[in-house]
Chain A
Amino acid sequence: MLGILVLTHGSLGKEFLDAAFRILGQEDASVASLCIEWDQDSASAQEKLRKTLKKLQESHDAVLILTDLFGGTPTNLAMTFYKAGKVEILTGMNLPMLIKAILMRKSETPLLDALAILREKGQSAIVSVSEALGQQDGAGE
């Protein structure tokens, strides 16, 4: 089974997870969030991440870490725990991507398949409203 860790700057991760759980109508104990505080030193942040990850790994075969920003501290810390096929990292998380990840976890999608689908979903969920409306106008003609 897949575990998911939402790892972000500030309290973003907690709020993202709260929003996803509210939309889905239920919480999921296999999905955790960890927020790296702005003034937290990297050694203590890394230790906190190690413990959170270890806890998830105790009850899951593989863990997907979703982070907010490639190149940011949460992603950089996550990369020190990267293990192909066991601990994978996807950056630039958005809410549709997170919701999809939680749904795929429940349907027991293998980690590497989930990774590819979530990357695509995260990108396709970005919609310019003017383009969407333009397409709708066109469809009605």
Chain B
Amino acid sequence: MTRKELVISNRLGLHARAAAKLVQAASRFHAQVIISTHQMSADAKSILGVLTLAASKDTPVVLEVDGPDEAAAMKEIESLITSRFGEE
């Protein structure tokens, strides 16, 4: 299992379109992807789950990726979050 702490840094936070991009990225991999804030955890392949996190700008999140392709999955999702979902 691979674990990494990141910060949501785009201005609008994990809003609907950003959440959709995250879910689409996570769903491309076999690995289970869990994204957590201090308050709650969600399956990163579930759009409604990710939206429930209500993660605004500067929210720290923990990514936990577990599965045969976890390294590639972590790399892609990390890149998506650190590139601010391509928004700014």
Contact = CB atoms under 8 A, between A and B. Distances in A.
A23 B47 contact: yes
A23 B54 contact: no
A79 interface: no
Contacts, number: 29
B20 A136 contact: no
Main secondary structure of the interface of A (DSSP, over half): helix
A100 B48 contact: yes
Nearest to B46: A103
Interface residues of A, number: 15
Contacts of A43: none
Contact of A25 (B20, B38, B48, B54): B20
Interface string A129-141: 0001001100110
Interface in A96-114: 96, 99-100, 103
A24 B47 contact: yes
Contacts of B20: 22-25
B24 interface: yes
Nearest to A25: B20
A132 B21 CA distance: 25
B85 to A, nearest CB: 13
Interface of B: 16-17, 19-21, 24, 38-39, 47-48, 51, 54
Interface of A: 22-25, 96, 99-100, 103, 121, 125, 132, 135-136, 139-140
